[in-house]
Amino acid sequence: MKIGNLFKIALKALNNNKMRCFLTMLGIIIGVASVITMLAIGQGSKNSIRQQISEMGSNMIMIFPGNMERGGVRQSTDDMQTMKPIDYESIRDEAKYVAAVSPMVSSSGQFICGANNYPSKVEGVNPDYLEIRQLKISTGNVFTDQDIKRAAKVCIVGQTIVDNLFPDGEEPVGKVIRFNSIPFTIIGVLESKGYNSMGQDQDDIVLAPYTTVMKRVLAIDYIQGIFASALTEEITDEAIEEITAIIDRNHKIKDGEEGDFTIRSQQELSEMLNSTTEMMTLLLACVAGISLMVGGIGIMNIMLVSVTERTREIGLRMSIGAKGRDILTQFLIEAVIISITGGIIGVLIGGISSFLVKFLLNWPVSIQIYSVVLSFAVCTVTGVFFGWYPAKKASALDPIEALRYE
């Protein structure tokens, strides 16, 4: 019998039991919609993390005093004072794989301007810090090397600081603000970056020459860390090895000894967060896949019921010349139609659900083409796999016994 005729017979049989077919499809619809929505949420989260890390500088390297890998051992104050300006200068002058490098010292306190005040911290850096962190000046200028040499009391502020200290919309550049009784002249305002994925306000920032913070604010002779950026993301590991060798030499650390500093890169952070996100995405997809499997079992169940109900019809068709493979093909077509139709509806609902999640919950989502293709493939396989046994059972019926069936 021609496939076209079998297709028509299958459609007619399904049309006679619309409600049953819809309820059978429901498991497939929910399963496919869940898979697409969960994968979209997982991929959206991964993309959001990558974007945030990229904005912070994907090739950024952070060096801190103290060995953070000494598990359970409490670090003394002296351990956190081992990094000196000479370490930063050596990296700046000798490292071939480093594009920019900046020392970092910071102090928390209260910023005051007239009757307005705001709690924040001042970070002591050099001009390279803006390149490393991908910060841009909106108005004004960056402090110069000359400002660093003379420990000038100048600063660059973020938009959050401007909004809180100058609520009336005054031009902040040129104004003097006080930090723990120390006056700082604002020479520049940074472009707004908003909140990152961790909920941290990236505009709550004040930058000043690192020598100013070291000498005038903290009165220390060591730095609290070094920020650097590799020439490219691909050679970050080479840059880390180079930095490690330079600091080991400066600190007279011998081969085989543990260093008194820790190096972290955005690449490490990115890989860690991506692996966590991938695990969560896989878990969500597995949960959604269980729903798809339940839908497949529903197809098998309904096809078995259909075979039982239509035993006399099968016997009649076989008695007038229909072959076993025709019966097998017809029931397989019915199962595949149910699963693919449910898959199409599931894809549409999954797409709508993903956009609702994005606009109502403000979660990052990204629908991937492979998830849609995979859903269709799984639907087809599900229809054939779970429809095979009922179809085989129907094709194996004895025509005489089938006609006698009550």
Q: Which residues pair with 316 in a beta bridge?
A: none
Residue 191: inside a domain: yes
* Domain end call among 226, 260, 284: 226
Q: Give the pLDDT confidence of 300-354 residue by residue, as tens digits.
A: 787 777 777 777 777 777 777 777 777 788 778 888 888 888 888 888 998 899 8
* Domain end call among 226, 248, 265: 226
Element (H, E) at 184: strand 182-190
Would you place residue 281 in the very low, low, confident or very high pLDDT band (cuts 50, 70, 90)?
A: confident
Q: What is the pLDDT of residue 403?
A: 63
Q: What is the pLDDT of residue 72?
A: 47
Cβ neighbourhood burial of 264 (10 Å; 0-12, 13-18, 19+): middle
Residue 84: inside a domain: no
Contact 33, 356 (CB under 8 A): no
Residue 93: inside a domain: no
Continuous H helices in 73-113: 85-94
Domain extent, residue 316, equals 3-52+274-404
DSSP helix/strand/coil, 190: strand
Element (H, E) at 209: strand 206-209
pTM of the model: 0.63
CA quadruple 233, 239, 244, 250: dihedral sign: negative
Residue 170: inside a domain: yes
Q: Which residues pair with 227 in a beta bridge?
A: 62, 102
Does 252 or 323 have the greater pLDDT score?
A: 252
Q: CB pairs under 8 A, 24+ apart, for 90-95?
A: 90/246, 90/247, 90/250, 91/226, 91/228, 91/243, 91/246, 91/247, 94/246, 95/228, 95/239, 95/242, 95/243, 95/246
For residue 374, how many C-alpha atoms fall within 13 Å in the half-sphere facing its CB?
Answer: 15
Whether residue 44 is found in the same domain as residue 138: no
Q: Give the pLDDT confidence of 271-280 residue by residue, as tens digits.
A: 777 777 778 7
Residue 339: inside a domain: yes
* Domain end call among 169, 199, 226: 226
**Domains identified in the chain, total number:** 2
Whether residue 163 is found in the same domain as residue 278: no
Q: Per the structure block, which two tokens stand in for 101?
A: 């490098």
Whether residue 207 is found in the same domain as residue 285: no
Whether residue 281 is found in the same domain as residue 397: yes
Q: What is the pLDDT of residue 204?
A: 93
Does 394 or 169 have the greater pLDDT score?
A: 169
Cβ neighbourhood burial of 378 (10 Å; 0-12, 13-18, 19+): buried
Q: What is the pLDDT of residue 69?
A: 52
Residue 58: inside a domain: no
Whether residue 43 is found in the same domain as residue 115: no
DSSP helix/strand/coil, 151: coil
Residue 259: inside a domain: no
Please tell me the least confidently modeled range out of 172-181, 344-353, 360-369: 360-369
How many angstroms separate the CA atoms of 186 and 178, rounded?
10
Would you place residue 166 in the very low, low, confident or very high pLDDT band (cuts 50, 70, 90)?
A: very high
Across the chain, mean pLDDT equals 83
Q: What is the pLDDT of residue 19?
A: 82
Give all strands (DSSP E) within 256-318, no chain letters: 261-265
How many angstroms separate the CA atoms of 117 and 111, rounded?
5
Does 372 or 15 have the greater pLDDT score?
A: 372
Q: Give the pLDDT confidence of 71-128 residue by residue, as tens digits.
A: 445 455 555 678 899 999 999 999 999 999 999 999 999 999 988 999 999 999 999 9
Do β-strands 206-209 and 154-157 pair in parallel, antiparallel, or remain unpaired?
antiparallel
Whether residue 106 is found in the same domain as residue 213: yes
How many angstroms separate the CA atoms of 354 and 341, rounded?
20
Q: What is the pLDDT of residue 200?
A: 79
Whether residue 139 is found in the same domain as residue 208: yes
How many angstroms separate the CA atoms of 134 and 31, rounded?
43
Q: What is the pLDDT of residue 346?
A: 87
- Return the number of other C-beta atoms located less than 10 Å from residue 142's C-beta: 17
Residue 40: inside a domain: yes
